[in-house]
Structure 1
Amino acid sequence: MSKIAESRTLYNEPVSISSFNQGKANKIFEEVNTEGIKVVLKNNKRIGVIVSPSKYDEMTELLEDCKLVLLAMNRMKSNHKKPVPMSDVMKRFGITQEDLDDTDVDIDI
């Protein structure tokens, strides 16, 4: 099941706001921790969403990835210039290959 389909499935199990007043908050938050998301209803209308910290982190990371893809796509559209070789960029900024070899950087792709 895709993450989107999984999230939609969780929306099918909403929780009434009155459940919080009935002392069921602890149980609701336990479900949020295992399921990731709970929609809160009041008078059968959505009034909020409770999201587990891990699901929130996942969603914000996905949003950031989407923003970066959109930024890259827009740059590619607007940049009709010929690509600049790395050696030219290094010369321009005074960077040597030794500088790069001495740097410890991990790049996640």
Structure 2
Amino acid sequence: MNSISVNSILNAIVPISRFNKGEASKIFDEVNAGGVKIVVKNNKPTCVLITPKKYEEMLETIENYYLFMSVEERMKTATQSDFISQDQLLKNLNINRDELEDVEVDIE
């Protein structure tokens, strides 16, 4: 995760007047280089510009958080009978352990 400093925040601020002066393309290049820009209008933040990659990362983080919280909630009320072994799961799904050896997993 990137560290946040006063200097990085100040460098991320973009007055809306720069858009009005036709500098949108330059601002978008700055977003691609720095990852984020905070657009201000009348000295108030109006929007945050981020790269599509950063946006996807944020959505994935939020999704993972909700999944984690869901699991945490389920674990609070789970009983031993709610769990099955890996061997039982494979048997229920008619999967042989040898078949798993040939499966390719994409880990990012």
Query: How far has the Cα of 1:107 moved from its partner?
Result: 5.8
Corresponding residue pairs, total: 106
Greater Cα offset, 92-101 or 10-19: 92-101
Which residue in the other structure is 2:68 paired with?
69
Query: How far has the Cα of 1:92 moved from its partner?
Result: 2.7
1:31 maps to 2:30:
yes
Q: Decide whether the 8 Å contact of 1:17 with 1:42 is kept in 2.
A: yes
Partner AA of 1:105 in structure 2:
E
Greater Cα offset, 88-97 or 52-61: 88-97
Segments of structure 2 that go 5 or more residues without pairing to the other structure are: none
Scaled by the length of structure 1, the TM-score of the pair is 0.75
1:52 maps to 2:51:
yes
Scaled by the length of structure 2, the TM-score of the pair is 0.76
> Kindly, what percent of the aligned residue pairs are identical?
34
Query: How far has the Cα of 1:21 moved from its partner?
Result: 0.8
Query: How far has the Cα of 1:60 moved from its partner?
Result: 1.9
Q: What whole-Å deviation, never above 9, does each CA across 1:67-106 have from its counterpart, x for those lacking one?
A: 22222222222212253112222333333334434x5131
Q: Decide whether the 8 Å contact of 1:15 with 1:38 is kept in 2.
A: yes
Segments of structure 1 that go 5 or more residues without pairing to the other structure are: none
Query: How far has the Cα of 1:25 moved from its partner?
Result: 1.3
- How many angstroms apart in 1 are the aligned matches of 2:42 and 2:28? 21
1:94 maps to 2:90:
no
Matches within 5 A, 1:2-13: 2-3=1-2, 5-6=3-4, 10-12=8-10, 13=12
Query: How far has the Cα of 1:39 moved from its partner?
Result: 0.7
- How many angstroms apart in 1 are the aligned matches of 2:7 and 2:47? 17
Query: How far has the Cα of 1:55 moved from its partner?
Result: 1.6
